[in-house]
Structure 1
């Protein structure tokens, strides 16, 4: 692997394509073409559609089939544990200095740095704020507790997912570790989600469904699991809505570029990461795909907004099992039963 980091190795592999795994919108054809022209190389883009799809592709041949990929900070941890990724040569990524302050200190973002090794570089993100109907709620809600406010009973739309909902409940309860619930935290979190269920008019899975629910139920408030993407969809549908990050903070996913252990050209992979931090790729993310980049602040962003980057949770299986029971209407004792 030491040879792959040298300029000589980069030249030796110049004829081989850079193999990139990317989500929809992360590597549009015109963006890829510019990189190819700048570096006189070919890039092969393989599009991924789910975390499961990504894991299968990277792990299939022990990280040998691709050079780099985009992954969120929570999922990144298992690739590190399994030895499927290697450190990013940050000296070859000078555009790190162009990143916004909250992304510049890589050690401050959980899971990016292990020991002295930087495993990933932030690229794009979205936070899960609150969307509210301006005609029904005159003043923007400033707390996540608004989802439980009896004034909005039957007017709240929420996400149908146990993993995020237990973290949401933990945040609303003021728990210090929303991703790692202790034995004594579970009963309180269950009670909180039962109360949420009673306040909600409907739960959604995808963004389009959330828009349909919000409009058809004449909802006043929504937990936006997909963030500003949902805001844009509602505005496009003619709904007068606002968006806010609650004072307790918002759950947020952060996708980063990381290099596989089997990368044939580590230098070119680092050049790709550096290029993705240039203004044009960031502009495309925002204007075409409604995604925030890590180098330029959106007009509506505030440095005071507190974002809680997703981390691996205690047990996805348990969270989803208990959530299914809550959704079915079970009482707390039955929800918590073995």
Structure 2
């Protein structure tokens, strides 16, 4: 008879002897619960904050069965929403977050993340060399500790309707072109919005001078007046693209959106314009509030499993960190006309967010 079985037999006798007293009976029941297989684990919940498609239900189900836990997935549609959820003091908080390197750097600065137990994340051995050299990846380390593990990445190019463009669009400026008024989609995000407007003007996208915010805000009001809609989720952009016969879209989710549009039967092309394209590297990180660091590390290890990572790429069209991606899809050699610009922390995220809310809410240009 094993330890748990002997314990249950002993507590069974104790219940018979002690339950004449209510307090003693409650104590006995609590002790029995601790000896039941999986009783403690049944209450364990791993809370994950991630982007759409990063943790599909079947991925979650396998992890839950393997570790005997419950996983709760909360998805976000923008960096602004991610920040708000990470900063909220309500509820138990999250154990894990998936965020780009710029957001990771910000979270480290605000002491929101815990150092990774790298020895517990065994599948890093299968990552490409550039992702194993963690000290070379800006934004994920601090004072000799590593706080995030690379998972997926993409550039934010332009998706366009080949039936409406005889040649691929060359510049970000196409989003402002009055010829396409009402047939443009752009992403609803404050940081990326101002960076995009800055790149159009040939300005640094992450370090905007204070005097430049007013004219750039006016540029974004003009963009608002030219777009059919600002979208948040990739699935939303596909529906809007199809429904409104959109001509061109700034693709915040990059080749993930390209794949979804092509899977939907749309004849679309994809390019990096001459000014370049913002690009993100999303990582998994464990939050400072987590009390389940070992389990959270198992989640990261699981997401880097070759079968999971490659299936994620097959479904979402996004690169993983284990395999070299195919050449950038597009209608120009290599699919690029400009550089890939990796995201960095911005000069004043709160100011960008305040101005963006005024812009998308309909404020007039003369008020900026």
Is TM > 0.5 for Structure 1 vs Structure 2? yes
The residue number in structure 2 matching 1:141 is 169
The residue number in structure 2 matching 1:7 is none
Structure 1, unmatched stretches of 5+, are 1-14
Displacement after TM superposition at 1:263 (Å): 4.8
Question: In structure 2, which of residues 67, 84, 99 is the aligned counterpart of residue 41 of structure 1?
Answer: 67
In 2, Cα distance between equivalents of 1:277 and 1:154: 41
Report if the CA contact (8 A) 1:252-1:310 is conserved. Answer: no
The residue number in structure 1 matching 2:115 is 87
Report if the CA contact (8 A) 1:126-1:254 is conserved. Answer: yes
The residue number in structure 1 matching 2:349 is 315
Displacement after TM superposition at 1:56 (Å): 6.0
Q: Deviations over 1:28-75 (max 9, x none)?
A: 4554565577xx632331111232674267x557xx866544334344
Q: Look up the SS of the partner of 2:173 in the other structure.
A: helix
Report if the CA contact (8 A) 1:253-1:309 is conserved. Answer: yes
Alignment of 1:1-338 (within 5 A): 16=41, 17=44, 19-23=46-50, 25-28=53-56, 30-32=58-60, 41-50=67-76, 51=82, 54-55=85-86, 59-60=89-90, 67-100=95-128, 103-149=131-177, 152=180, 155-176=183-204, 178-197=205-224, 200-206=226-232, 207-261=234-288, 263-264=290-291, 266-301=293-328, 306-309=340-343, 311-312=345-346, 314-321=348-355, 324-325=358-359, 328=362, 330-331=364-365, 334-336=366-368
Report if the CA contact (8 A) 2:155-2:277 is conserved. Answer: yes
Q: Deviations over 1:159-200 (max 9, x none)?
A: 344432111011222222x233211322442353345346x2
RMSD over aligned CA atoms reads 3.8
The residue number in structure 1 matching 2:13 is none
Flag the 1:277–1:197 CA change in 2: closer, same or farther, 3 A: same
Q: Deviations over 1:3-34 (max 9, x none)?
A: xxxxxxxxxxxx75573424354344554565
Displacement after TM superposition at 1:241 (Å): 0.5
More helix by share: 2
Flag the 1:238–1:311 CA change in 2: closer, same or farther, 3 A: same
Flag the 1:193–1:309 CA change in 2: closer, same or farther, 3 A: same
In 1, Cα distance between equivalents of 2:73 and 2:274: 36
The residue number in structure 1 matching 2:17 is none
Displacement after TM superposition at 1:279 (Å): 1.1
Flag the 1:141–1:100 CA change in 2: closer, same or farther, 3 A: farther
Task: Tell me the number of residue pairs that the alignment of Structure 1 and Structure 2 aligns.
Answer: 315
The residue number in structure 2 matching 1:12 is none
Q: Look up the SS of the partner of 1:184 in the other structure.
A: helix
Instruction: Report the structure number with the largest CA radius of gyration.
Output: 2
In 1, Cα distance between equivalents of 2:94 and 2:237: 35
Flag the 1:156–1:256 CA change in 2: closer, same or farther, 3 A: same
Q: Deviations over 1:118-147 (max 9, x none)?
A: 111112334321001112223333432333
